[in-house]
Amino acid sequence: MVNVIWLFMILIGFLVALFFGDLEAATQAALDNAKYAVELCIGLLGIYALWLGLMRVAEKSGLVEAISKKMQGIMSFLFPDVPAGHPAMGAMTMNLIANMLGLGNAATPLGIKAMNELQRINKQKDVATHDMCMFLIINTSSVQLIPTTVIALRSAAGSLNPGEIVGTTLITTIISTLVGIIAAKMFRRLY
């Protein structure tokens, strides 16, 4: 899909420039933006390194596990069909926390492990269970607490206050996640 969109933007862009606009300016924009991508990535590098450093400390100190213990109550409300103490629960909790902290690399393998565990208690192996649906709906609604990439991009673009969107992002994330949880609970009754 990205393949088609990307090709479309370049072809249509050059065609529009050829017939209606300025072809030289379009070529110049392509070269300028290639250069700007480098500047942006250098900006990203600092903030990524800072964040990944902190996250390594959070993992090694057992903070991630400590938070997951605190979340047992919410987890059994969200996933009522998973028996208490089942490994699926642990993997899902760790995945959600990794996502909250913006640890995308750690989150994906944990998420796949969670799906494998959920599949074991699934009776129809090609049909998703309600708990799988809920898990993925929460996952796709984004639960990230601090949007590091966005802050880095804003800072690279010369924002006077790159972090000012942290509060609005958090509130928005909470709203969209709640919408997802409510929708999943309602669909569960309907299906």
* Interactions with another protein, residue window 152-181 (CB under 8 A): 153-154, 156-173, 175-177, 179-180
Site size for another protein (CB under 8 A): 102
Instruction: Determine if 90 is a binding residue for another protein (CB under 8 A).
Output: no
Instruction: Determine if 189 is a binding residue for another protein (CB under 8 A).
Output: no
Distance in angstroms (rounded) separating the CA atoms of residues 118 and 128: 9
Instruction: Determine if 80 is a binding residue for another protein (CB under 8 A).
Output: no
Which one of 30-38, 74-82, 84-92 is the stretch in contact with another protein (CB under 8 A)? Answer: 30-38
Instruction: Determine if 121 is a binding residue for another protein (CB under 8 A).
Output: no
Instruction: Determine if 123 is a binding residue for another protein (CB under 8 A).
Output: no
Which one of 43-51, 72-80, 84-92 is the stretch in contact with another protein (CB under 8 A)? Answer: 43-51
Nearest distance in Å: CB 161, another protein: 7
Is there a contact between 135 and 114 (Cβ–Cβ < 8 Å)? yes
Question: Taking the alpha carbons of 7, 8, 12, 15 in that order, is the dihedral positive or negative?
Answer: positive
72-81: long-range contacts (C-beta < 8 A, 24 or more apart)? 78/134, 78/138, 78/181, 79/131, 79/134, 79/135, 80/131, 81/121, 81/129, 81/130, 81/131
Is there a contact between 86 and 115 (Cβ–Cβ < 8 Å)? no
For residue 139, how many C-alpha atoms fall within 13 Å in the half-sphere facing its CB? 20
Binds another protein (CB under 8 A): choice among 71, 72, 86, 149: 149
Nearest distance in Å: CB 181, another protein: 9
The residue written with tokens 């996933």 in the block is: 79
Window 6 to 25, contacts with another protein (CB under 8 A)? 6, 9-10, 12-17, 20-22, 25
Binds another protein (CB under 8 A): choice among 69, 84, 85, 191: 191
